[in-house]
Amino acid sequence: MLTLLTSMYLVVRAVSSQAEPIRVVVTGAAGQIAYSLLYSIAKGDVFGKDQPIILILLDIPPMLPVLDGVVMELQDCALPLLREVIPTDKVEVGFKDIDAAILVGSMPRKEGMERKDLLKANVAIFKTQGSALDKYAKKTVKVLVVGNPANTNCLIASKSAPSIPKENFSCLTRLDHNRACSQVAMRCGVSSDSVKNVIIWGNHSSTQYPDVHHAKVNVHGSEMAAYDAVKDDAWLRGNFISTVQQRGAAVIKARKLSSAMSAAKAICDHMRDIWFGTKEGEFISMGVYAGGNSYGIPEDLIYSFPVQIKNKTWKMVDGLAINDFSRAKMDATAAELVEERDTALDFLSQ
């Protein structure tokens, strides 16, 4: 009997290990964020330890020689789940039948560049990519936009892919979320996984609002409100918020390069939660379509909210009490997003 059960187990294991590969595209694949990201995806940290993967690496033509080097390195990692790596500069190849799209590539802001010029360049990029998703990707594709300005780029991509549900598009504010968790954890002298339910509201920019009014901290086995654990309201309403808001700039100042390792980790966290769901009683932050929200945020935006995820579907956490301090900050970041959106939509209609 035991031998039969063992045989059945081995058959089940064999079948599961031969699951159909999923197709995952990463844009800006020759860049530094992708360099930190691709190994984690290819070894199963994101989509599961028994999920084979076909990785499509999309970048602009001048970067193709660099992509060849990235492909060689991925091959040399000898990762059993990585079935194929396809480098390309063509959207029709990059987005064909994909299950997940991680849009890292965008036009970076150059010295002397006006914000509206940056928006104009990125509207063109994300209109093209959204249209390609619409035409070539599976309608069930999950799209994560990382390239900045991430919220508005995500909105443009979604509007350019009308046959794909708006709910399938999200932008990355998990890096800000992780930064906020880490700041609170360090302040309380606990590990980062002892902090849960922080919220990033709004734009992935310096107007974002890191909010710990609903966060919990586990201190010596006892769960308490973040404000009670930190015991420093002035810090939580002042330096904590500005530290998280300005963290990206601080990294650039120190490294002379933008965040890559931490950005890649946040991308992995975000996509893993979409694939496998959030823990019971916990929520995370994601930039999602604001339609139908209960917080008075203008609807036609991609805005970061607290969400819970089950069966690859996110649901906004409703009914959280919002005080006047929070309200003002949530509205300020929404106003910036409305301005970005209106400028971007002007370019989109040209």
Asked if residues 264 and 32 have their Cβ atoms less than 8 Å apart, the reply is no
Q: Per the annotation, does 311 bind a ligand?
A: no
Beta bridge partners of 171: 145, 287
Beta bridge partners of 222: 219
> In Å, how far from its chain's centre is CA 343?
23
Q: Per the annotation, does 327 bind a ligand?
A: no
The HSE-up count of residue 94 (CA atoms within 13 Å, CB side) is: 25
Q: Per the annotation, does 147 bind a ligand?
A: yes
* 188-215 burial: b if 16+ Cβ within 10 Å, else e: bebeeebbbbbbbbbbbbebbbbbbbbb
Catalytic residue chosen out of the listed positions 204, 213, 220, 270: 204
Q: Is 177 a catalytic residue?
A: no
C-alpha 136/C-alpha 123 separation (Å) is 20
Q: Per the annotation, does 148 bind a ligand?
A: yes
Return phi, psi of residue 112, to 5°. 80, 0
Q: Per the annotation, does 153 bind a ligand?
A: no
C-alpha 171/C-alpha 176 separation (Å) is 12
Q: Per the annotation, does 228 bind a ligand?
A: no
> Residue positions in the annotated binding site for substrate?
109, 115, 148, 179
> Residue positions in the annotated binding site for NAD(+)?
59, 122, 146-148
> Residue positions in the annotated binding site?
59, 109, 115, 122, 146-148, 179
Positions marked active-site? 204
